[in-house]
Copies of this chain bind each other. A is one copy, B any other.
Amino acid sequence: MERKPTGIIGLDEMLDGGFLPETANLVEGAPGTGKTTLGLQFIYSGITVQQEPGLVLTFEEFPQQYYRDAAGMGWDLPALEAANKLRVIMTSPEVTQADLRQVGGLLETHVREIGAQRILVDSISHFERLNRDRIDLRESVYGFVNGLKRLGLTAVLTRESTTLLGGDPNIGQDIAFVVDSYILLRYVEIDSAMRRALLVLKQRGADHARDIRQYEITAAGIDVRARFEGRQGIMSGTPTLRMVEAFEGAFGRSRPQS
């Protein structure tokens, strides 16, 4: 099956190659978990490795902020814009929503002009400004997502987490039900430090890894690493050592191997 690699090796492995084409993929995390970095890497890698031009749709930050953030990882966004392979568009949810309802709207024009195949929407949480009711929000996001698919785009939608350190959110009428995949970025406290965990919870129509992996935000972007070992309750944010490991830690690995 055709895939849209994210350019993040470990994540592509977990996704069995990448996102499916023309899908909406939700990436959710608390402040500082690297949602935007992950999304930019998907766009940047799409352009430079897959030859798939891309769009970045931002509802709050100025394009300059993205240029700076990307530059920190050696990604020259202005150059890609000059080469007509990227457009960073600052707009509002209101305009975006109205635009997708008409033929030949602005977004469609952008897509056509650079042949965009990928889009980063940063962040879908701003749609809450338009729709403070959860059911309305869901309908609105669903319409938006379908508009993107009609334009042939594969999308990363970032979303801001509603809990800082791992509580279980209320997901009644959640937009996670209308997207094609759902990736969680979480803080995990281990040994008096905050590590980061990545989990692919859902991928519609394809297999995916189900382990909870550590990752780092490096000078080259998101770096997905091994799964956590010997801990339980990772997604709660405050895991504990499993007792087996605790005993080994205390007494050494002297037990008979079964």
Contacts and interface: CB of A to CB of B under 8 A. Distances in A.
Contact of A189 (B123, B234, B250, B254): B234
A91 to B, nearest CB: 15
A60 interface: yes
Contacts of A199: 194
Contacts of A189: 212, 232-235
Contacts of A228: 192
A142 B60 contact: yes
A177 B31 contact: yes
16 contacts: A30-B201, A31-B201, A125-B177, A128-B173, A160-B171, A160-B172, A162-B171, A192-B227, A193-B211, A194-B210, A232-B241, A233-B240, A241-B243, A243-B250, A248-B250, A254-B256
Number of copies: 6
A134 to B, nearest CB: 9
A206 B72 contact: yes
A101 interface: no
User: Interface size for chain A: under 10, 10 to 19, 20 to 34, or 35 or more residues?
Assistant: 35 or more
A161 B174 CA distance: 9
B229 A182 contact: no
Interface of A: 30-32, 60, 68-69, 72, 123, 125, 128-129, 132, 135, 142, 160-174, 176-179, 182, 187, 189-190, 192-195, 199, 201-207, 210-212, 219, 227-229, 231-244, 246-258
B243 A60 contact: no
A176 B35 CA distance: 14
Contacts of A210: 193-195
A210 to B, nearest CB: 5
A233 B227 contact: no
A176 B31 contact: yes
